[in-house]
């Protein structure tokens, strides 16, 4: 420790450091801790390979009158997850089709829904915070998407 | 998270974000951090990465809300918030504060109680401290000096350079 600080200065600096920490609400710190729980999840990561918002920019500029549906595709080596943002809910399908369980993970927690034998599922309501989707099929495939913000 | 939450929070505060937007920014920053953890091999790079990422996320939120309100030109206005000197100061400040809190945490409980009362805002009087901690008023001064000396010698503060401290002193005078 350098000799730089006298008692009053050290005390003042400490007070400032404590107040900087106290200014941060607990929920803000919790958000971070929840995010950290994601570290070390053992699933294949599916990359975003199509996003209608991103990939259809040039088309939208031409025919902007259509209220288009947002569509996303995530692809991993073993399966793809297709998502469509509808009114109030999120519907999707696993390709190639098969049954399983679909989990929606947000910083706040996890909800799960079933995937039917033709690979279809619905998530209701649409998550209003960043989320990621994890799909576990009956044949043991485990796939996780990147973070999605709608 | 404990160590760096104040850095992320203070940057959000400087952008004047609402609590809802701060939650949005915070979530994204932490989620991005978790994805980067494997790649950030050098711990010293973490505060800089966090500050830069938080700035970018704040700009995104500010720009998005301006677009929806159709105010200004969005990004051009928002960019004036970004000043590398300010970011560097925020990082330095966050590191210094985190080191001070770590040094405080290493102190024995009696020292922590005393220093907490001395640094509270508004500060406690010696009479209140004496009553609260059950120590004579006359011994508060010497104990304060002993606790601060102990803190000064802690390993948590050993990493701070003279430059950090001189810089911090300048801040206090300002």
Task: Kindly list the residues from chain A whose CB atom is less than 8 angstroms away from the CB atom of residue B23.
Answer: 27-28, 31, 129
Task: Kindly list the residues from chain B whose CB atom is less than 8 angstroms away from the CB atom of residue A16.
Answer: 97
- Assign residue B160 a region (left: φ > 0; alpha: ψ between -120 and 50; beta: otherwise): beta
Candidate ranges A20-29, B28-37, B81-90; pick with highest mean pLDDT: A20-29
- DSSP secondary structure string, A50-69? EEHHHHTHHHHHHSTTS-PP
Contacts within 8 Å (CB) and 24+ apart, A18-22: A18/B101, A18/B104, A18/B116, A18/B119, A19/B121, A20/B6, A20/B10, A20/B93, A20/B94, A20/B97, A21/B5, A21/B6, A21/B97, A21/B101
Q: What totals of helices (H) and strands (E) does chain B contain, helices first?
A: 10, 0
**Span between the terminal Cα atoms of chain A, in Å:** 49
- Mean pLDDT computed over B145-170: 77
Backbone angles phi, psi at B51, to 5 degrees: -65, -45
pLDDT of residue A7: 92
Residue A117 distance to chain B (closest CA, Å): 32
What's the CA gap between A51 and A44, in Å, rounded? 20
* Contact across the interface for B119 and A130, Cβ inside 8 Å: no
The DSSP output letter for A148 is B
Query: Is B26 or B163 the better-scoring residue by pLDDT?
Result: B26
Beta strand spans in B76-169 (E): none
pLDDT of residue A63: 44
Q: Is A13 on the interface with B (CB under 8 A)?
A: yes
Indicate which of A3, A9, A30, A35 best probes the interface with B, i.e. most B CBs within 10 Å of its own CB: A35
pTM of the model: 0.65
pLDDT of residue A73: 93
Indicate which of A12, A13, A19, A42 best probes the interface with B, i.e. most B CBs within 10 Å of its own CB: A13
A1: pLDDT strictly greater than 50: no
- Model confidence band, residue B173 (pLDDT cutoffs 50, 70, 90): very low
B149: pLDDT strictly greater than 60: yes
Query: Is A31 or B59 the better-scoring residue by pLDDT?
Result: B59
A19: pLDDT strictly greater than 90: yes
Q: Residues of chain B with pLDDT > 70: what percent?
A: 82
Q: Give the distance, in angstroms, between the CA of residue B162 and the centroid of all CA atoms in the same chain.
A: 19
Task: Kindly list the residues from chain A whose CB atom is less than 8 angstroms away from the CB atom of residue B34.
Answer: 35-36, 38-39
Indicate which of B96, B118, B119, B160 best probes the interface with A, i.e. most A CBs within 10 Å of its own CB: B119
Q: What is the mean pLDDT of chain A?
A: 83
For residue B115, give every residue at least 6 positions away whose Cβ sits within 8 Å of its Cβ, in sequence order, or none: A11, A14, B104, B107, B144, B147, B148, B151
Which residue segments constitute the domains of chain A, with CATH numbers given? 7-36 (no CATH), 44-145 (2.60.40.760)
Length of chain B, in residues? 174
Q: Is A9 on the interface with B (CB under 8 A)?
A: yes
The residue ranges of every structural domain in chain B are 5-105
ipTM above 0.85, yes or no: no
Cβ atoms B125, B155 nearer than 8 A: no
B32: pLDDT strictly greater than 70: yes
CB atoms within 10 A of CB A80: 18
Tens digit of pLDDT for each residue in A44-66? 778 788 888 777 654 444 444 44
């Amino acid at each position: 420790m350098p000799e730089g600080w006298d008692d009053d200065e050290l005390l003042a600096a400490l007070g400032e450091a404590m107040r900087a920490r106290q200014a941060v609400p607990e929920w803000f710190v919790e958000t971070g801790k929840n995010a950290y729980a994601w570290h070390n999840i053992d699933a294949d990561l599916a990359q975003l390979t199509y996003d209608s918002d991103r990939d259809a920019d040039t088309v939208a500029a031409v025919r902007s009158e259509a209220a288009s549906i947002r569509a996303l595709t995530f692809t991993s080596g073993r399966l793809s997850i297709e998502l469509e943002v509808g009114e109030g809910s999120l519907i999707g399908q696993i390709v190639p089709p098969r049954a399983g369980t679909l989990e929606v993970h947000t910083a706040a927690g996890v909800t799960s829904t079933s995937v039917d034998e033709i690979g279809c599922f619905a998530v209701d309501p649409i998550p209003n915070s960043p989320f990621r989707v994890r799909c576990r099929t009956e044949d043991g495939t485990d796939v996780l998407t990147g973070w999605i913000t709608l | 998270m404990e160590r760096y939450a104040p850095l992320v929070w203070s940057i959000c505060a400087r952008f004047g974000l609402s609590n809802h937007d701060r939650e949005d920014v915070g979530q994204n920053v932490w989620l991005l951090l978790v994805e980067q953890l494997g790649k950030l091999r050098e711990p010293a790079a973490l505060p800089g990465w966090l500050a830069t990422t938080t700035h970018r996320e704040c700009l995104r939120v500010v720009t998005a809300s301006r677009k929806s309100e159709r105010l200004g030109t969005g990004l051009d206005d928002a960019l004036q918030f970004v000043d590398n000197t300010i970011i560097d100061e925020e990082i330095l400040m966050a590191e210094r504060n985190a080191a001070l809190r770590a040094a405080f945490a290493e102190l024995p409980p009696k020292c922590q109680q005393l220093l907490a009362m001395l640094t509270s805002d508004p500060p406690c009087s010696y009479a209140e401290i004496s009553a609260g901690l059950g120590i004579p008023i006359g011994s508060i001064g010497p104990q304060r000096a002993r606790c601060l000396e102990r803190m000064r010698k802690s390993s948590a503060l050993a990493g701070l350079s003279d430059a950090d401290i001189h810089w911090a002193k300048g801040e206090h005078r300002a």
